[in-house]
A and B are shown apart, each in its own frame.
Chain A
């Protein structure tokens, strides 16, 4: 017999985003079920045994599994239910409800829910998605896969590894592999500066004497059965390998940390259009997508660099999903948020000005953004209302770097009547502009 379940809110994904969403929704009185494909809750945090999670959220540095366990406990304590080991084979709409067709060991089931929260996280870009050439030997793997092998399975994926890409997981894995007895020949980054957090460059590479070579990439991998080496090349300003700069390095593993891609195949199957820059669905400040009853949060919405921000976005989505599930559709008043000059992207892409009246948002809306260039000498952010040109918010930073996401909070009441859009702009701080 096919099992049939009905809930107010269905959450797909039991990582930090989904757990926070589940807790928030359950706390608001909604009946919530988290569908998680792995056997245990916690998402990728389960394999992140290093410390440093939760500084913002808990005010202390936790290991990934500790952070995940806290989130899971509090979601369940709030009354949310979870079904690990479940895979959503199809998501669709049926009448006014979402219908999830789920598989798990020993049984398939159907879950119907009024509101659906997508907390599906992200995947890693692979070697061939950054055009590394060569054959396909064993020993080429993404940093997250290497992390799973080492931290969960107790396996050593390489004895002498080259790491391509200085994303945070790559930096963390450089340290982990070193601690586990492997040699990390070097970390190579195609860009002129590291992609990961500055603190990770210090703590994972510098403290261990692992060289970081910028403006350098791996163009080819050698070896048939197992990796025997790689070809490195210096790159020009556009990232193209410079002819004649190629050199070969012996190694038995190539670990890649070359970017994360939000996993939004389910979102796309539900007809959501994805933002070309974030590769997540476009959403308002509570993660509400343009389709009614559908919410997205965490790394599925855009790639975050702190788990704390992921939890925060999950909470907003869970709260809004519960309100929708219990109160039905509400009038929305969407105002576009644009990424202006100097801004790589801004999330959310809309503010729902009517949300304040529904009490879904605390005092205001959080806007997350990344600068599109490194500004070491200081930077200034302004948030303007288009139409009136009024400056709603101004902030100065000592430095801004694309890998480090920032966020500001805006009281919705400050948005002037008649504004056609909001626009974020970043400029280099002028000399003598002493505010900070």
Chain B
């Protein structure tokens, strides 16, 4: 019945030249055949999601668009994992995977965190605006809504434990229509349903007083005080370091190639560093989580990609805005995204965006002129900001299921697999809450076979790196006496010292490239964008790693900054 009407609907929507079939598989639905184009493929996936299946597996082919495969990993230097054994393997070193690994460390179990890149937080976790959403925008009743609100509460204490900056400037959603006031009861109901507390309606005058850059056209707005902001990459590194300090093995440049299964259990995890045994596996593989599920024959959902581009404004912009600002189009209320806005980061930059557009390319971070134009409209939301303040921009890719909700659950068919997949926005905000649930599931799996004890020596905090900018002048002067290299500033825009760069290179999850140093210290993230500090940071990396300068990379293998020494590297 259900399948019949889905099939009919798909055929009607697929258009001429398309051939779309649907079949049921373990309570999910699989779409096969050929879609007209990529856009149509995504729309058919969304359509199928409306039929109440567990998941939509969208295997429609699109002409000229080969199915994406993860890049074949090289043979990394360093330790082999062949023949080792771990209680839990967490696949993916994004904010979710790192938070899960840290939660697992609360138990006396051996944990390995697998990340295919040469650092954590390389993909989606470093390519977002760092907003810790209030939870208001999520659709009531979804996992997103639940984890967002829970995660938002957890970030406060967690950030303190990890020693990272976190603030709650609150989110101010402005309207430029008189009709906005009529939304009041709708907003009240939504807030109550999602358990978002403390929200207020601000009239025009209040908005003007609280946010001097608000546009003259504003007619008041909703203020959500719990909305916060943190550095997503620093948070991810901090979670990974805390996990590592508690005994989690963080294995970088380690790509999962497949699983050996036996009797509906994963027995061995095969990687480019060799195969090892695992008692339980957590799939937190970001934009590749559906592939990883497939390795265990448990691919009951598909991910499609929603790109987001943000502009980064000079850090002097931060003084011109107090809250997270947005001015949505009233007609956009039912869109799949919140429409973007202006976020002041913990470092004082303002991020403009993100865009939200469905596009293929799980790791396609190339920006376009059209995206720049699209973002310009946000400047109207704060009249003190201008496009001349743009210092750079970046793209990120959100992994989205067709149900547009998170997948956080134990596998129905593989007895020792837990998924944390489809973690799109507000994934960063939700991460601590997701991590708690996923860790509980993984421990539950282990507990089915043996007793699992809490880890009495678990430390929730970590030795946070020195952050001289947060010190008073006197404290800073003392620091420089103690740590002479903290007096030598190598990045002038962000005031980063040699000492901080060396700390980043010696950390528990050590940086090894310019970008990894940038994620930890902000060296190179300022207005000159590395023009001055690049050679200096390169020298420190070469010195710490004991490698010649030409071997220093921007972001790991295949990205050398220089192509050799002069005279010898050119045309022979």
Binding site for B on A (CB under 8 A): 2, 37, 85, 87, 89-90, 101, 103-108, 123-124, 126, 128-129, 131, 133-139, 141-142, 144-145, 148-150, 152-159, 180-183, 219-220, 222, 224-226, 241, 252-253, 265, 268
CA distance A106 to B364 in the complex (A): 44
Q: Which residues from chain A contact B331 at a C-beta distance below 8 Å?
A: none
A105 & B484 in contact (Cβ 8 Å cutoff): yes
Complex interface: chain B residues within 8 A of A141 (CB): 531, 534
How far is it, in angstroms, between the C-alpha of A338 and the C-alpha of B489 when the chains are bound? 39
Does B332 sit within 8 A of A, measured CB to CB? no
Docked complex Cα distance between A139 and B559 (Å): 8
Among B438-493, those with CB < 8 Å from A are: 473-474, 476-477, 480-481, 484-485, 487-489, 492
* Interface presence of B530 (CB below 8 A): yes
Taking a contact as CB atoms under 8 Å apart, the answer to whether A157 and B366 are in contact is no
Measured CB to CB, the closest approach of chain B to A113, in angstroms, equals 17
Q: In the complex the two chains form, is B563's CB within 8 Å of A157's CB?
A: yes
A219–B369 touching, CB < 8 Å: yes
The answer for the CA separation of A136 and B390 in the assembled complex, in Å, is 16
How far apart sit A107 and B561, CA to CA, in the bound complex (Å)? 32
- Is the pair A104, B571 in contact by a Cβ cutoff of 8 Å? no
- 20 inter-chain pairs at a CB distance below 8 angstroms, sorted by A residue, are A85-B488, A89-B476, A89-B495, A101-B473, A106-B480, A107-B481, A108-B473, A123-B531, A126-B529, A133-B372, A138-B553, A138-B559, A144-B531, A155-B564, A157-B561, A157-B563, A183-B571, A222-B366, A225-B559, A252-B563
The count of residues in chain B whose C-beta lies closer than 8 Å to any C-beta of chain A is: 61
Q: How far is the CB of B477 from chain A (nearest CB, A)?
A: 4
Q: Contact between A103 and B487 (Cβ–Cβ < 8 Å)?
A: yes
**B559:A106 contact, CB within 8 angstroms:** no
Q: Are A133 and B570 in contact (CB under 8 A)?
A: no
Does B384 make an interface contact (CB < 8 A)? no
Chain B residues whose CB sits within 8 angstroms of the CB of A241 once the complex forms:
369
Q: How far is the CA of A314 from the CA of B473 in the complex (A)?
A: 31
Of the residues B480, B538, B556, contact of A108 by C-beta under 8 Å: B480
Which among A139, A150, A268 has the greatest number of chain B C-beta atoms within 10 A? A139
Are B566 and A180 interface neighbours, CB within 8 A?
yes
B residues 514-572 touching A (CB-CB < 8 Å): 527-532, 534-535, 538-539, 549-550, 553-571
A122 to chain B, nearest CB (A): 10
Give complex CA distance A129, B488 in Å: 28
- Whether A153 lies near B535 (C-beta < 8 A) is yes
A241 CA to B561 CA in the complex, in Å? 29
Please give, as numbers and ranges, the residues of chain A lying within 8 Å of B5 by CB-CB distance.
Answer: none
Q: Which of A89, A134, A253 has the most CB of B within 10 A?
A: A89
Query: What are the residues of chain A within 8 A of B568 when measuring CB–CB?
Result: 181
A188 vs B415: C-alpha distance in the bound complex, in angstroms?
60
Residues of A within 8 A of B484 (CB): 105-107
Are A155 and B565 in contact, CB atoms less than 8 angstroms apart? Answer: yes
Name the CB-closest residue of B to A222: B366
Shortest Cβ distance from residue A311 to the other chain B in the assembled complex, whole angstroms: 22
Residues of B within 8 A of A182 (CB): 569-571
Contact B531 A124 (CB under 8 A): yes
Distance, CA A252 to CA B316, complexed state (A) = 34
Taking a contact as CB atoms under 8 Å apart, the answer to whether A226 and B560 are in contact is: yes
Knowing A103-B476, A105-B487 touch, does A152 contact B535 (C-beta < 8 A)?
yes
- CB B103 to nearest CB in A, in angstroms, measures 32
Instruction: Please indicate the chain B residues that have their CB under 8 angstroms from the CB of A107 in the complex.
Output: 477, 480-481, 484, 487
**Given A85-B488, A106-B481, A145-B535, A150 and B473 contact (CB-CB distance below 8 Å):** no
Q: Is residue B202 contacting chain A, with contact meaning CB distance below 8 A?
A: no
User: Would you call the interface of chain A mostly helix, strand, loop, or mixed?
Assistant: mixed
The interface-forming segment of B138-146, B192-200, B391-399 is: B391-399
Across the interface, which residues of B come within 8 angstroms of A226, CB to CB? Answer: 558-560
Q: Output the residue of A105, A137, A268 with the most chain B CB within 10 A.
A: A105
A45–chain B nearest beta-carbon distance, Å: 15
- Whether the Cβ atoms of B366 and A134 lie closer than 8 Å is yes
Quick one: which of A105, A135, A138, A183 contacts B561, CB cutoff 8 A?
A138
Q: Do B528 and A138 touch across chains, with their CB atoms under 8 A apart?
A: no
C-alpha gap A108/B481 in the complex (Å): 8
B571 touching A2 by the CB < 8 A rule?
Answer: no
In the complex, A158 Cα to B570 Cα: how many Å?
Answer: 8
Query: Which residues of B lie under 8 Å from residue A150 when comparing CB positions?
Result: 566
* Neighbouring A residues of B485 by C-beta, 8 Å: 105
Whether A2 lies near B550 (C-beta < 8 A) is: no
Residues of B within 8 A of A2 (CB): 474, 477
Closest-by-CB residue of A relative to B534 is A145
Residue of B nearest to A150 (CB): B566
Q: Is the CB of A155 within 8 A of B369?
A: no
Closest to B542 in A: A153
Assembled-state Cα–Cα distance A28/B202 (Å): 61
Within 8 A of A (CB), among B212-233: none
* Residues in chain A near residue B107, CB distance under 8 A: none
Chain A nearest CB: distance from B102 CB in Å? 29
**In the assembled complex, which residues on chain A have CB atoms less than 8 Å from the CB atom of B473?**
89-90, 101, 108
Contacts of B363 in A (CB 8 A): 224
Interface residue from B369, B529, B561 paired with A133 (Cβ < 8 Å)? B369
- CB-based contact B391/A128 at 8 Å: yes
**What residue in chain A is nearest B569 (Cβ atoms)?**
A156
Q: Quick check: B392 and A138 within 8 Å, CB to CB? A: no
Question: Given contacts A149-B535, A225-B558, could you give 13 more A-B pairs where the C-beta distance is less than 8 Å?
Answer: A89-B476, A89-B489, A105-B485, A107-B484, A108-B481, A135-B395, A138-B559, A142-B531, A149-B562, A154-B566, A159-B563, A182-B571, A225-B556
The one of A90, A105, A136, A148 in contact with B535, judged by C-beta atoms closer than 8 angstroms, is A148
B183 CB to closest chain A CB (Å) equals 37
Q: Report B228-273 residues with CB < 8 Å from chain A CB.
A: none
Return the chain A residue nearest B485 by Cβ: A105
Query: If A106-B480, A106-B484, A158-B563 touch, does A126 touch B492 (CB 8 Å cutoff)?
Result: no
Given contacts A137-B554, A157-B561, contact A103 B489 (CB under 8 A): yes
**Complex contacts, A87 vs chain B, CB 8 Å:** 488-489, 492, 495
Q: How far is the CA of A131 from the CA of B554 in the complex (A)?
A: 21
Residues of B within 8 A of A153 (CB): 535, 538-539, 549, 562
Query: Residues of A contacting B567 with CB < 8 Å?
Result: 180-181
* B100 CB → nearest A CB, Å: 28
Contact of A126 among B392, B476, B565, B570 (CB under 8 A): B392
Find chain A residues with CB under 8 A from B553 CB: 138
A219 to B367, CA, bound (A): 11
Q: Give, as a whole number of angstroms, the nearest-CB distance from A256 to chain B.
A: 10
Query: Cβ of B368: which chain A residues have Cβ within 8 Å of it?
Result: 133, 220
In the assembled complex, the CB of A19 is this many whole angstroms from the nearest CB of chain B, namely 19
- CB contacts (< 8 Å) of B364 on chain A: these are 135
Q: Which of A138, A156, A224 contacts B564 (CB 8 A)?
A: A156
Chain B, range 153-187, C-beta contacts under 8 Å to A? none
What is the CA–CA distance of A104 and B498 in the complex, to the nearest angstrom?
A: 11
Q: A139 to chain B: which residues have CB within 8 Å? A: 561
